Structure 1
Amino acid sequence: MVFVLDRQKNPLMPCTEKRARQLLERGRAMVHKIAPFTIRLKDRTAAESVLQPLRVKFDPGSKTTGMAIVLKGAKGSKVVFFGEIVHKAGIKAKLDARRALRRGRRYRKTRYRQARFQNRKRKEGWLPPSLEARVDQTLHAMAKIRQGAPVTDLSVEHVRFDTQKLDNPEISGVAYQQGTLLGYEVREYLLEKWGRACVYCGATDVPLEVEHIVPKSRGGTDRVSNLALACHACNQTKGSRTADEFGFPDIQMQARKPLRDAAMMNATRWRLYEQLQATGLPVEGGSGGRTKKQRLHQGLPKAHYYDALCVGASTPDRFTSLPAYVQIWTAKGRGTRQLCGANAYGFPIRHRSRQKVHFGFQTGDWVRAERKTGKFAGTWVGRVTVRARGSFVVTTVDGNRAEIFHTVCRILQRGNGWQITQKLAS
């Protein structure tokens, strides 16, 4: 799919790659943007065009968010775009490193300064920066789509993870609604949970003891998810080993159930939904159960963009066509403001310049370089990493790197914090 703008840069209906190539060859259009590829017509305005309804669908995720654009035409619903937003990782680790560096400097320089951490107050609705970034990146992607396509409707999966249900999936009814142990003693609950048998040898007609899957001496807790039943012989033989070390990794996995991604989605789903409503477009919500049911009904494999396609009650019984490619939008950021670089121990080892633009280029710009001689001879197209001495590094979408001097580089598109690539749909 190719985004199309009119001569006043207003969005028109997207077209196919073949149609865009014909418009460019006939001189009716010009290239407006490389990534995502967008053309601008020279002889058409939005007032002279007929626009059809376009619905953008999102399947939010903790690491990757799926996107799909559906055109509802006279012959049925047609999928014109598949995409994935790869969220920026390592935000919390970088904030922790910055905090440690500043604390070390503050202790060395102003060790008697009064503490101020208790003076600060978080605003209502505050989210950690790592979660706020995921919401902002999804909204930014939505804004980029609206710049290139006349979007009329939105759909988003109202993901609901219940951490209590994930921790103990067998709980239901009153016990689930009012708490794990309401009406149960711990021993009775464990007897029902583990079938009144030793989890290690399966013995049933022997006295059973409460056993810690991860021993308390190894950092285990008294949470119900860390408790099991074992006979006296197995309990003594296991000793201070974990269930995994004792040869029962399936029992050990119950103590390692990841709830981090579930907590992320619980914290961000309402913020994203409210921000999408603030765009003024009608927003449709959908549950994860409905998404899975409709995806299985369509016979589609598990993928983020297919999940996004099946979000909400607006999903038809069938689609007339599906795209062959998926655009991958990776959030890269716009660089760093840190001027003092430190080693692994927090000691300064280098100082960056305040200047970000060198010889007309900035890190993140999309360039084309042609080198005629040397080890890196050839044509290189990709993101550039600038240096003050003029020797740049060009990284292609395949991950290949080349040392290129700035005199042979030509700007294709200014960096905007995103890297857009393409892959075949599964």
Structure 2
Amino acid sequence: MLVFVINQNKKPLMPCKPSKARKLLQAGKAKVVRNTPFTIKLLFGSSGYTQPVIAGMDTGSKVVGCAAIANGKVLYQSEIYLRENVSKKMEQRKMYRRTRRGRNTRYRPARFDNRGNSRREGRLAPSIRSKLEAHFREKMFVESLLPVTGWKVELASFDIHKITNSEVSGVGYQEGDLKGFYNVKAYVLDRDGYTCQHCRGKSKDSRLHCHHIVFRSNHGSDAPENLITLCETCHKALHNGEFKLSGSKSKQTCN
């Protein structure tokens, strides 16, 4: 365990041992400025000597990992869990706004064409911007504790098409499973032979639905592997809890 130290000008210095920090506090040469992580501020002038400190960050969409080392010793490490409720809160705000503006109150000028922010070049969606700003906040926080001399950031770049088909190359990237179909729904219906995958057409219901195996509310995707064709009769029965889907592949079995 180490105690972080900043000088009189709030510039970070090298951390010290708890015993050293305790002596400085007892002698009145330092004061506590933060409890978590425990940080003290020197009340006297110091030489300002520091060592090279390298910080690293593992970026992510849900969890961010961060650490800092000096002379092969870990000085700081943390995990930051990013917000996942931004979109839902915006939907809630939208609902309250519509309710408020729909009331029979005094005249309000039209506000449908004043969204300049949404047309700004380089604009990021609020949920993405929230995650990006969380990365920068952690970076600034680490730099406020330690005299960081350099950063190493792990940027994950995945070729999803290559993962599913290791032999893909060139124009093959443009010739995926959805080639020739209007959208994902059209592909799923064709893949399943325009037949309900539960009753196999026994219900004689011609109205078909593309059902999400893992619900969108549970972070299920719109990928074909998460969609299955069900007739409207079976679709309603499924949501009423009369049967359950088993498995997670595109071809499902129903209990």
| TM-score where L is the length of structure 1 | 0.42
The Cα of 1:80 is off from its aligned counterpart by: 1.2
Aligned partner of 1:32 in structure 2 is: 33
Matching of residue 80 in structure 1 with residue 75 in structure 2:
yes
Residues 5 and 93 (structure 1), Cα distance of their counterparts in 2 relative to 1, 3 Å cut: same
Aligned partner of 1:217 in structure 2 is: 208
Percent identity (aligned) = 32
Match of 1:108, SS state, is: coil
- State whether residues 213 and 251 of structure 1, in contact with CA within 8 Å, keep that contact through their aligned partners in structure 2: no
The count of aligned residue pairs is: 213
The Cα of 1:68 is off from its aligned counterpart by: 0.4
Residues 115 and 42 (structure 1), Cα distance of their counterparts in 2 relative to 1, 3 Å cut: closer
Aligned partner of 1:92 in structure 2 is: 87
Pairs within 5 Å for 1:38-57: 38-45=39-46, 48-57=47-56
Distance 1:146 1:248 in 2: 49
Amino acid at match of 1:120: R
Match of 1:103, SS state, is: helix
Match of 1:138 among 135, 138, 145: 135
Distance 1:253 1:53 in 2: 56
User: Could you list the per-position Cα deviations for residues 354-411 of structure 1 after superposition, in whole angstroms to 9, with x for gaps in the alignment?
Assistant: xxxxxxxxxxxxxxxxxxxxxxxxxxxxxxxxxxxxxxxxxxxxxxxxxxxxxxxxxx
Amino acid at match of 2:209: R
The Cα of 1:32 is off from its aligned counterpart by: 2.1
Runs of at least 5 residues in structure 2 that lack an aligned partner in the other structure: 182-190, 199-206, 213-221
Match of 1:177 among 173, 176, 180: 173
Aligned partner of 1:395 in structure 2 is: none
Bigger mean CA deviation after superposition, 11-20 or 172-181: 172-181
Match of 1:125, SS state, is: coil
Distance 1:18 1:176 in 2: 63
- State whether residues 24 and 30 of structure 1, in contact with CA within 8 Å, keep that contact through their aligned partners in structure 2: yes
Cα RMSD after superposing both structures: 3.8
Matching of residue 250 in structure 1 with residue 245 in structure 2:
no
The Cα of 1:79 is off from its aligned counterpart by: 1.3
Residues 126 and 110 (structure 1), Cα distance of their counterparts in 2 relative to 1, 3 Å cut: farther
Aligned partner of 2:155 in structure 1 is: 158
Residues 50 and 226 (structure 1), Cα distance of their counterparts in 2 relative to 1, 3 Å cut: closer
Distance 2:226 2:126 in 1: 31
Aligned partner of 2:104 in structure 1 is: 109
Distance 1:110 1:247 in 2: 50
Runs of at least 5 residues in structure 1 that lack an aligned partner in the other structure: 187-207, 229-234, 255-426
User: Could you list the per-position Cα deviations for residues 98-128 of structure 1 after superposition, in whole angstroms to 9, with x for gaps in the alignment?
Assistant: 1111111111136986754344242112112
Amino acid at match of 1:60: T
| TM-score where L is the length of structure 2 | 0.66
- State whether residues 65 and 79 of structure 2, in contact with CA within 8 Å, keep that contact through their aligned partners in structure 1: yes
Residues 28 and 113 (structure 1), Cα distance of their counterparts in 2 relative to 1, 3 Å cut: closer
Distance 1:136 1:226 in 2: 31
Amino acid at match of 1:86: Y
Amino acid at match of 1:42: L
Distance 1:114 1:179 in 2: 50
Match of 2:148, SS state, is: coil
Matching of residue 125 in structure 1 with residue 122 in structure 2:
yes
The Cα of 1:12 is off from its aligned counterpart by: 0.6
Distance 1:24 1:106 in 2: 57
Which fold has the larger relative contact order, with Cα–Cα distance below 8 Å and residues 6 or more apart in sequence? 1
Residues 8 and 105 (structure 1), Cα distance of their counterparts in 2 relative to 1, 3 Å cut: closer
